[in-house]
Amino acid sequence: MFVFLFCSSPHHFFHTGPSRSVVNRDNVEWTEEQEASAKKKVLENSQPLPSEKQEEYDCRANEYWNDFYTIHENRFFKDRHWLFTEFPELAPQCSLNHESQEQRREAAAVSHTDGDIPGTSATYRILEVGCGVGNTVFPILKTNNDPGLFVYCCDFSSTAVELVKSNPEYDPERCFAFVHDLSDVEANYPVPDGTLDVIVLIFVLSALHPDKMQASISRLARLLKPGGVMLLRDYGRYDMAQLRFKKGRCLSENFYVRGDGTRVYFFTQDELHEMFTEAGLEKVQNLVDRRLQVNRGKQLTMYRVWIQCKYRKALHQPAETQG
Ligand SMILES: C[S@@+](CC[C@H](N)C(=O)[O-])C[C@H]1O[C@@H](n2cnc3c(N)ncnc32)[C@H](O)[C@@H]1O
C-alpha cells in the first residue's frame, strides 16, 4: 500500500530529479473527490498568522534566503532536466533564429562586456530572476553556444549571487550576476527597457508577497523587446507541498511560510493569466502539469502540481494614449 506524502521539509521534493525508484506519471486527472478533499484541507489550515509576524517575514525575506544558501550552498536545487524541452527559447536553435548570420558574426567578434553595461553588444539577451545558485544559468551557458548570447541573472540573496560568481563556469564575457530584489519596482536593472529577448522565472514569483506580484511582473515586462517572452514555471494550487503545510504556517490565502522563514504561494492558471495580461503580455502557453510521483522504495505517492506559462510582448506595441 502506498502512503500519501507529508514529509517534514516542504523544500524536500522541490524539483529534484527523480531517482531511479521514483516513477512519474504525467497528465494525471484529478477526481472530483480528490479536488474537494484538497480544498477542504487548505480551508482547514487557512487561519493567518498575526500581522507582526507577517511583516517580519516580509521585511527579512532576503535574510531567510541568505541563511538558506549559507546552509545548503549549491547542494540543494538540481539542474533541471526539463529546461530545454519545456523552454526551447533557451536553447541555441531558437536564439540563432532571431538575428542574421552577419549580426551573429559581428557579435561574436566583440566583447559583450564593452562599456558600462555588460552584454550591450549581444544579440540574444536572457535574464533569469531569482536565479539561486545558477541551476538554470549554467545549463544555458553550457548548452547554448550562440556567440551572440548574453545571460543576466539576479537574486535578492547576496549569498546566492556570490555562489554563482564563484562557480568555475561563471564567465563574465557571457554572463552577469547581480543582487536585485524583484519586488523593488523602483530599483534599476542593469539593462535598459525594451532590450531583453527572454525573462525566466523559475519558482521565484511564488516567493513574493501576493500584493507585490503584479507590480513586479509589470516592471519586468517593460524590459522585454517587442516579441520577447516571459517564461515561468511555479507551484500550482493544491500541489503536495501546499497540502502538507502544518497549522500555523499560513500567511494569507494559499500563501505560507516554511520552517526556515522562506515563503511560498500556490497559483491557479487564471491568476497568472490575469497578471501577465495586465502587464501587457499575450498568452503563448499557460498549462498545468499534474503529475503523480511514486517512490517505490519509500512507498510514497506524491501529487505534484506545477504551472508553466509563456507570455509574449506584442511585436507592434499600441501607441501610447495621451493624458
Ligand atoms: C525556490 S528558489 C528557486 C531558485 C532557482 N530559480 C531555481 O529554480 O533553482 C527561489 C529563489 O528566489 C529568490 N527570491 C525570492 N524572493 C526574491 C525577490 N524578491 N527578488 C529576487 N529573488 C528572490 C530566492 O533567494 C531563491 O533563490
Does 213 map to a domain? yes
pLDDT greater than 50 at residue 17: no
**16 pLDDT above the threshold of 50:** no
Between the CA of 9 and the centroid of ligand 1 the distance, in Å, is 17
More confident residue, 8 or 287: 287
What separation in angstroms does the CA of 168 have from each of 89, 118, 134, 143, 164? 25, 19, 12, 16, 9
CATH of the domain at 240: 3.40.50.150
Q: How far apart are CA 217 and CA 233, in angstroms?
A: 14
Predicted confidence (pLDDT) per residue in 25-54, tens digit: 777 888 899 889 999 999 988 888 888 998
Res. 128: pLDDT tops 70: yes
Q: 132: CA distance to ligand 1 center in Å?
A: 6
Q: Which helix (H) or strand (E) holds 245?
A: none
User: CB neighbours of 3 closer than 8 A, spacing ≥ 6?
Assistant: 299, 300, 301
Cα-based torsion angle of the residue sequence 278, 315, 95, 223 in order, rounded to the nearest 10 degrees: -50
Q: What does the pLDDT look like over 68-117, one tens digit per residue? A: 999 988 877 777 778 999 999 998 766 665 555 565 555 555 556 555 67
Kindly state the DSSP code that residue 176 receives in the 8-state scheme.
Answer: E
| Centre of ligand 1 from the C-alpha of residue 203, in Å | 7
Structural domain tally of the chain? 1
Percent of the chain at pLDDT exceeding 70: 84
Residue 99 near ligand 1, beta carbon < 6 Å: no
Ligand 1 centre from 296 Cα, in Å? 31
By most ligand atoms within 8 Å of CB, the mutation choice from 58, 163, 204, 265 for ligand 1 is 204
pLDDT bracket for residue 6 (50, 70, 90): very low
Index of the ligand 1 atom closest to the CA of residue 66: 25
- Could you tell me if residue 32 is inside a domain? no
**Is 181 near ligand 1, meaning CB less than 6 Å away?**
yes
Q: Is residue 29 part of a domain?
A: no
Whether residue 301 is predicted with pLDDT greater than 90 in this model: the reply is no
Say which residues have a Cβ less than 8 Å from residue 100's Cβ, sequence separation at least 6: none
- Look at residue 319 and tell me if it is in a domain: no
Does residue 77 have its Cβ closer than 6 Å to ligand 1? yes
pLDDT at 306: 95
| Domain membership of residue 305 as a residue range | 3-17+37-313
Dist. CA 218–CA 226, nearest whole Å? 14
Q: Is residue 11 part of a domain?
A: yes
| Residue 56 forms part of a structural domain | yes
CA of 16 to the centre of ligand 1 (A): 16
268/189 Cα distance (integer angstroms): 29
Q: Is residue 289 part of a domain?
A: yes
Asked if the structure places residue 161 within a domain, the reply is: yes
- Contact in structure between 207 and 61 (CB atoms under 8 Å): yes
Spell out the long-range contacts of 51-55 with Cβ–Cβ below 8 A and sequence spacing 24 or more. 54/251, 54/252
Mean predicted confidence (pLDDT) in 158-167: 97
- Pocket of ligand 1 contains residue 267 by CB under 6 Å: no
